[in-house]
Each structure stands twice: as C-alpha cells, then as structure tokens.
Amino acid sequence: MEIKINLNGKDICRNIEPDMLLIDFVRSLGCVSVKRGCDTSNCGLCTVFVDEQPVLSCSVLAVRANGHKVVTLEGLQEEASEFAAFIADQGAEQCGFCNPGFMMNTIALLKENPHPSDEEILAYLAGNLCRCSGYEGQLRGIKAYLSFQEQKGKVGN
C-alpha cells in the first residue's frame, strides 16, 4: 500500500504494509527521537505532531497519516534546542529517554496556552512517563523557559 506524507517538511512516498504503525514508519525514515516505550499509549515517548496536533504514534496506523503533515522532534530542532537547555539545567534529563516526548508535548502546550499555570503544565504532561524524576525538574525547566521567553518578548502578553 502506498502512502504519501510530509515528514518534517519533506514529501515522502513509500510502499508499506497495511498494519504498519506510524512509529515504525517514522523510525524507518531516521526519526529516532520517536521512542517505543509501552506500546499501549500510556508513556508519551512516541509523540509526534500530525497536522500540528500531538498524536501517540504507537497507536496509529501509518496509513492514517496518508496525505497529512507529520512532524517529529527532528523537524523542530530550532524550536526545541533552546528549550532543551532549560530542561537540562534543572537536571530533568537524567537518562534522556523521555525527553523527546516531554519536549513535543510542551511545545504543543505552549502553542495552545502560552501562559499555563503549574497545574495546567502538569495536567498536559500527565501522559508522559518518566522513571528518573518526579516531574519537578521538568516543571521548573518549563517555567524557566517561559520566563526567558517572556523576557525576550516571544510569549504573548
């Protein structure tokens, strides 16, 4: 079965098996930030954007992305690199395995809500499993990043 998607700004056309998951498809194209963690849609490690909405790619058939725009962390390097430094500064990247999912969901949150409260941040990130931290480092990193963005005038007033 042939599918056509735009992956990180590049048009892709491939023949795939009908039961191929989106996670396997994007990883086969070199998007290794998309991680396999639970295969039950509970950990957030496989988060990608499909038409700018966060989607758990381990629970979506690749064919469902046919004709759509798919973005992984590889396609958001400019946006994510600055944010990653704030997460690392708070010691929230201990093993780093969960970071791509956290970053994808934080980017989605900030597009949706540029001034989230602590409770809103934690609620939005509740679907991201991190076994190394208690999520406090991620929360501090996100808050520091928001403060930095406000100082730069990049977050809506």
Domain 76-152 is found in CATH 3.40.50.300: no
- The token duo for 21 is 């998951």
The domains of the chain are located at 2-74, 76-152
pTM for this structure? Answer: 0.86
Residue 26 identity: V
Q: Give the integer Cα–Cα distance in Å for 108 and 125.
A: 10
Note the helical H segments in 12-135: 22-28, 77-89, 99-112, 118-124
Considering the domain 2-74 in this protein, what is its CATH number? Answer: 3.10.20.30
Could you read off the pLDDT of 8-44 as tens digits, one per residue? 999 999 999 999 999 999 999 999 999 998 878 888 8
2-74 and 76-152 in the same fold: no
Question: What percentage of the chain has pLDDT greater than the value 70?
Answer: 94
